[in-house]
């Protein structure tokens, strides 16, 4: 039996309208991401990288085409259904960490789980376990402002993985970090995602991520090109 891709886009297109002007960001994208695959999408700022993340996660809706996520056409779902789908199957990591400053590290990590279900004792134990694994044991009652940028991004990685998503979407996750810290974060993200057998799609303009990827795509004028073989 043929394996069903985790994500498949079919003729995916997105056009934004401003006044009387239309700007096509993505045009006819046919792409597949397999379960367990680490894919890096390179491109300049404004090229449509983040738009692609928003489309395959159901945050945004395409102008044309479909997104098939683990056999489900998410473009046929209602906005509420897409929200529930994201909570269950997608983990997000952002450039600006997006930790809530008024919540402790433990509370930040538990928040995605609280949106899905009642928190169990096991969930709190899992938080302590993952904090130990990312080198932040004993910091669960700390607030984000007392962590360095690299430490905050480690927490963001833990938050993205804790609710057991099928794919992690990372949007410029090392953009605010120095080179050495960025390499540490990429190494941690690679190890943690592969250890859990998850898929990872990272959009970035940084070449540091290329060495960790199974496939490298570039985006230019709304089209994708697979450049893995050329690197």
Question: What would the pLDDT profile of 31-88 be if each residue is shown by its tens digit?
Answer: 999 999 999 999 888 889 999 999 999 999 999 999 999 999 999 999 999 999 998 9
Alpha-carbon gap, residue 7 to 67, rounded angstroms? 7
Query: How long is the chain?
Result: 231
- For residues 1 and 228, the model is more confident at 228
Mean pLDDT of the 91-117 span: 88
CATH architecture label of 7-230: 3-Layer(aba) Sandwich (3.40)
Alpha-carbon gap, residue 135 to 26, rounded angstroms? 39
Domain ranges of the chain: 7-230
pLDDT for 1 beyond 60: no
pTM tops 0.85: yes
* pLDDT value, residue 2: 58
**Residue 73 token pair:** 């056409």
What spatial distance separates the first Cα and last Cα of the chain, rounded to whole Å? 32
How many CB atoms lie under 10 A from the CB of residue 118?
7
- For residues 207 and 148, the model is more confident at 148
Question: What would the pLDDT profile of 112-148 be if each residue is shown by its tens digit?
Answer: 888 776 778 888 898 998 899 888 999 999 999 999 9
Question: What would the pLDDT profile of 157-203 be if each residue is shown by its tens digit?
Answer: 999 988 889 999 999 888 888 888 888 888 988 988 898 899 999 99
């Amino acid at each position: 039996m043929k394996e069903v891709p985790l994500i498949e886009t079919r003729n995916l297109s997105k056009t934004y309208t401003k006044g009387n002007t239309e700007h096509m960001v993505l045009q006819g994208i046919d792409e597949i991401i397999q379960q367990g695959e680490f894919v890096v999408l390179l491109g300049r700022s404004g090229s449509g990288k983040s738009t692609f993340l928003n489309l395959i996660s159901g945050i945004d809706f395409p102008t044309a085409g479909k997104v098939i996520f683990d056999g489900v056409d998410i473009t046929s779902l209602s906005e509420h259904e897409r929200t529930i789908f994201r909570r269950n199957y997608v983990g997000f990591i952002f450039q600006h960490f997006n930790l809530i400053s008024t919540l402790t590290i433990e509370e930040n990590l538990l928040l995605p789980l609280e949106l899905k279900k009642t928190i169990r004792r096991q969930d709190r134990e899992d938080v302590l376990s993952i904090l130990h694994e990312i080198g932040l044991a004993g910091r669960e009652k700390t607030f984000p402002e007392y962590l360095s940028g690299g430490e905050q991004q480690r927490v963001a990685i833990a938050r993205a993985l804790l609710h057991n998503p099928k794919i992690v979407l990372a949007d410029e996750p090392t953009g605010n970090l120095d080179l050495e810290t960025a390499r540490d974060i990429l190494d941690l993200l690679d190890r943690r995602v592969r250890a859990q057998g998850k898929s990872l799609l990272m959009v970035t303009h940084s070449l540091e991520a290329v060495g960790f990827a199974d496939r490298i795509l570039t985006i230019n004028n709304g089209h994708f090109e697979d450049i893995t073989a050329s690197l």
